[in-house]
Amino acid sequence: MKLLITGFNGFVAGSVIAHSKEKWEIHGIGRSENPVNEPGIFYHNLDLLDEAQFTSLFHEIRPDAVIHTAAMANIDICEKNQEQAEKVNVGVTRLIAGLCKELGSKLVFCSTDTVFDGIKGDYTETDAPHAVNYYADTKIKGEQIVLSASPDNVVARLALVMGLPVIGQGNSFLADTIEKLKKGLQIPFPENEIRTPVDVITLGCALVELAGNRFGGIIHLSGCTKINRYQMALEIATTLGYPRELILRVNSNAMPGRAPRANDASMDNSLAKIILKTPMRTLAEGLNLTLNFKSK
């Protein structure tokens, strides 16, 4: 079975690779140096915006499943560069969904908890998304494309992803936080943003499971702890033995020059608990797992 992973050099993809390499022939697409040099893992240096080259490669690989993690994910950059965000987050997703439909490949699309406006909280899969920024808008469009292409496709809405990089570097807020705490630097975290963080180890395992099972539709991949980002950072600092005074509370929607954020994007993970063998974990369990994880 062949698995194609976009965003191969990214934070989430590193965990996907670690959990799929024993059962899948892995093909990864990225734009920088190959982070993995192991048998059964094939790296393709390619720009996903090059439609002709990507289409040719897709037909050559003929993957059984695709996990689409690649995205333009910085909320503020998307807000200021909407045309590029549309090309990457919507256009590329449309291309991949079309190719998956053509060849019968299952598509697992990585969406986000921030598709919700943050008014209600505890969102379920049946709640209608409503964007408060342009990044969320592009993700909602991507969801619609993926779901309309095939009933076998999966829209996996990811909660705030916490953890340390498994393979390569990736963009890990935990790694960045630890480095700053080591230096004794104060770090701002928004008290207004309530989330249900998921650890990257659990997430990678769940995405691989979704690529190989029969579930199709929307599923929320989130942790079991509902918490604001300031309190989350306090727990991390305490667990790691750093002074809690280094964590500063801020309001992200009161900061000038930033795109709006959803205040309560917490998600209900009841469906994931039913559908998946992969257990959804609390913040403390997920933090312990990611700090002690060793890839085989």
Confidence band for 296, pLDDT divided at 50, 70 and 90: low
Q: Which tokens go with 41? A: 């893992």
Query: Rounded to whole angstroms, how far apart are CA atoms 198 and 225?
Result: 9
Question: 35 or 188: whose pLDDT is higher?
Answer: 188
Residue 213 scores a pLDDT above 70: yes
Query: Rounded to whole angstroms, how far apart are CA atoms 73 and 34?
Result: 21
Class of the 2-163+197-224+265-281 domain? alpha beta
For residue 70, give the 3-state DSSP assignment. coil
Q: Which residue has the tokens 């050559």?
A: 60
Residue 244 scores a pLDDT above 80: yes
- Which range, of 88-97, 167-176, 208-217, averages the lowest pLDDT? 167-176
For the chain, counts of helices (H) and of strands (E):
11, 13
Query: Rounded to whole angstroms, how far apart are CA atoms 108 and 7?
Result: 13
Q: Which residue has the tokens 């965003």?
A: 7
- Find all residues with CB under 8 Å of 163, minimum gap 6, and list them: 11, 15, 172, 174, 199, 200, 201, 203, 286, 290
Q: What is the pTM of this model?
A: 0.96
pLDDT of residue 120: 96
Cα torsion at 30, 36, 39, 42 (round to 10°)?
10
Q: Domain residues of the chain, as ranges?
A: 2-163+197-224+265-281
Query: Rounded to whole angstroms, how far apart are CA atoms 230 and 193?
Result: 8
List, in sequence order, every residue forming a beta bridge with 157; answer none if it has no partner. Answer: 111, 220
pLDDT of residue 179: 95
Beta strand 227-228 with 194-195 is antiparallel
**Looking at residue 253, what DSSP letter applies?**
G
Query: Rounded to whole angstroms, how far apart are CA atoms 133 and 128?
Result: 16
Query: Rounded to whole angstroms, how far apart are CA atoms 183 and 172?
Result: 17
229-240 and 173-182 are packed helices; what angle lies between their axes, rounded to 10 degrees? 50
Confidence band for 36, pLDDT divided at 50, 70 and 90: confident
Confidence band for 226, pLDDT divided at 50, 70 and 90: very high
Residue 142, CB-side half-sphere exposure with 13 Å CA sphere: 35
List, in sequence order, every residue forming a beta bridge with 42; answer none if it has no partner. Answer: 27
Q: Which residue has the tokens 């954020």?
A: 261
In percent, how much of the chain has pLDDT > 90? 92
Q: Which helix (H) or strand (E) holds 41?
A: strand 41-45
Helices (H), the chain: 11-20, 51-61, 75-80, 82-85, 92-103, 134-149, 173-182, 200-212, 229-240, 270-275, 283-292
The mean per-residue pLDDT over the stretch 22-49 comes to 90
